[in-house]
Amino acid sequence: MTLDQKIKEKYEAVIGLETHVELFTHTKMFCGCKISFGDDKNVHTCPVCLGHPGSLPVVNKRAVEFALKIALALNCRINNYTIFHRKNYFYPDQVKNYQISQYDLPLGEKGYLDIDMGDYTRRVGITRVHMEEDTGKLIHTGATGRISESGASVVDFNRAGTPLIEIVTEPDIKSPEEAKEYMVTLRNLILYLGVSDCSMEEGSLRCDANVSVKEAGGKKFGTKTEIKNLNSFKFLQKGLDYEIRRQVKLIESGKKVVQQTRHYDNNTDTTKALRSKEEAHDYRYFPEPDLVPLDISKRLIEKIKGEIPELPQGKVKRFEKEYGLSRYDSNFLASDISISSFFEKCLAHYGDAKTLCNWIMGDFSALLNQENISMEESKVKPKDLSEMLKMMDSGKISSKIAKSVFEEMFKTGKSPKKIIDKKGLEQISDEDVLEKIIDKVIEENSGPVKEYKGGKKKAVGYLIGQVMAKTKGKANPQIVNRIIRKKLS
């Protein structure tokens, strides 16, 4: 057996993910400092988020509500009595020498998230959802920004105290593909909730992956490692792929996997050891004495439940039922809240869901990908796309012209009517006009005409093509087809 076969047949991966989500509240978790990116360094700070002795934290109510939204959307049981703990450790971006977090009484516990893997659904257990605060940011001086090439590091505390949610899964994930799909699904869910911008590149969504391998079908888990620095879906999958391979190789050669934290290097697609279990922190958790316990009332839970919008999985089911779309189409539309809301806004003006969906999945998505922007950022207005599709259906413009009109809409944000009027792109359906052009084409193309009359019916395609060329694509092809056949019969 090759190593690849062994990985596939002899072993099974066991994966659990720990995800951090930065909430986009206006102010920080325990003080009134503004949350804002791209400003000068250390301008959004105060004694609380700088950890000055004697300063007192106050819980941000909105952050608790956002966290509740996430916990409820992940089907968690909510602890009505929940408290904060101090997690003690030293790091230069953590001036207090502790982080306010939650420990044995987290906000939410025992939830789940269902992952649609196409052929099957994987239910991933959610161990806990808890609230904490983010650290400051270390900036390594020097041109490259890499710590190894830097003479000194400075700290920007603008981020310190930003509300963070940690979501920990059970070790229910069985492959790197499932891990990636879990993150895609989770991200989409949180985007729907509107509580974070969930950018993996910018660090508002971060994930650490715990992974071990065990004998296929076996019950006993192997020793796990934890991978850090997985800041894209691709890196998550690649890091796990590498780590599973590394662990299987070790076991196959009679060695043991050592429990440790490992750093993923995206230049080499490998992981290397950061610290082992012996060096693991003892955080000396104790209840935060400066904060009162939170009483999460039934009323608050009901209020937050009422604010949770229709979620992606519910949306997929509704699109299938209400609009008769396939699972594939519905999944695509629901995969991004900016797409699904655009789609439904268009439907208010245009009834053919399938044609609309095809257009969004095809031409529109292609242009978005090309420009690397989201639907929200595009200039196309839902009403305008609907208008254009109506013009296409009524024969006012051909489908070929529609493509170029749409490109113009995408570029300029102008209405299809404006574009068509200005460029004279309206489809020619006037039979008198078309007849004159067709007569000319027949006159100029005696060869193909002879072939057609001699029984080679395909030659009509060439003649239609000539009419289209003469009209710059504006002739209505159905009408042209009918007139040519009539004239030649």
Q: Is 212 in the site for ligand ADP (CB under 6 A)?
A: yes
Shortest distance in whole angstroms from residue 19 CB to Zn ion: 25
Residue range at the interface with ligand ADP (CB under 6 A); choices 97-105, 210-218, 374-382, 428-436: 210-218
- Range list of β-strands (E), 217-354: 225-228, 260-265, 270-276, 286-287, 294-295
* Rounded distance between C-alpha atoms, residue 66 and residue 68, angstroms: 5
Q: SS3 of 260, please?
A: strand
Give the sign of the dihedral formed by CA 329, CA 334, CA 338, CA 340.
Answer: positive
Q: Please identify, among the stretches 79-87, 93-101, 191-199, 209-217, the one whose residues bind ligand ADP according to the rule CB under 6 A.
A: 209-217
In Å, how far are 67, 107, 175, 391 from 296, measured between CA atoms? 12, 9, 36, 54
- Residue selected from 49, 209, 346, 459 as contacting Zn ion according to rule CB under 5 A: 49
> What is the total count of residues that contact Zn ion (CB under 5 A)?
5
Question: Which residue's beta carbon is nearest to the bound ligand ADP?
Answer: 16
Give the residue, chosen from 12, 16, 231, 242, that forms a contact with ligand ADP under the rule CB under 6 A.
16
Of 46, 105, 250, 291, the residue at the interface with Zn ion (CB under 5 A) is 46
Binding region for Zn ion (CB under 5 A) out of 46-54, 255-263, 355-363, 407-415: 46-54
Output the CA torsion sign for 373, 376, 379, 381.
positive
Contact partner at residue 31 from ligand ADP, Zn ion, none, CB < 5 to 8 Å by partner kind: Zn ion
For 132, the enclosing helix (H) or strand (E) is strand 121-133
How far is it, in rounded angstroms, from Cα 332 to Cα 330?
Answer: 5
Q: Does 31 bind Zn ion (CB under 5 A)?
A: yes
Express the helix, strand and coil content of the chain in percent, nearest 5 each: 40, 20, 35
- Whichever of 46 and 138 has its CB closer to Zn ion, that residue is 46
Owner of token pair 């113009």? 408
Residues paired with 17 in a beta bridge = 209
Residue 160 makes contact with Zn ion by CB under 5 A: no
- Reading the block at residue 374, the tokens are 């989201």
R_g (Cα) of the chain, nearest Å: 30
Site residues for ligand ADP, 126-185, by CB under 6 A, read 168-171
**Nearest by Cα to 167 from 241, 76, 294:** 76
| Shortest Å distance, C-beta 383 to ligand ADP | 46
Q: Among residues 103 and 233, whose Cβ is nearest to ligand ADP?
A: 103
E strand or H helix at 122 = strand 121-133
DSSP 344-368: HHHHTT---HHHHHHHIIIIIHHHH
CB of 48 to Zn ion, least distance (A): 5
Nearer to ligand ADP by Cβ, of 169 and 386: the residue is 169
Residue 70 Cβ vs Zn ion, minimum distance, rounded to whole Å: 23
Residue 411 tokens read as 């570029």
For residues 220 and 458, which CB has a smaller minimum distance to ligand ADP in the complex? 220
Contact with ligand ADP (CB under 6 A) among 128, 224, 238, 414: 224
Measured from the CB of residue 2, what is the shortest distance to ligand ADP in angstroms?
24
Q: Which residues bind ligand ADP (CB under 6 A)?
A: 14-18, 168-171, 210-212, 221, 224
Q: Which residues bind Zn ion (CB under 5 A)?
A: 31, 33, 46, 48-49
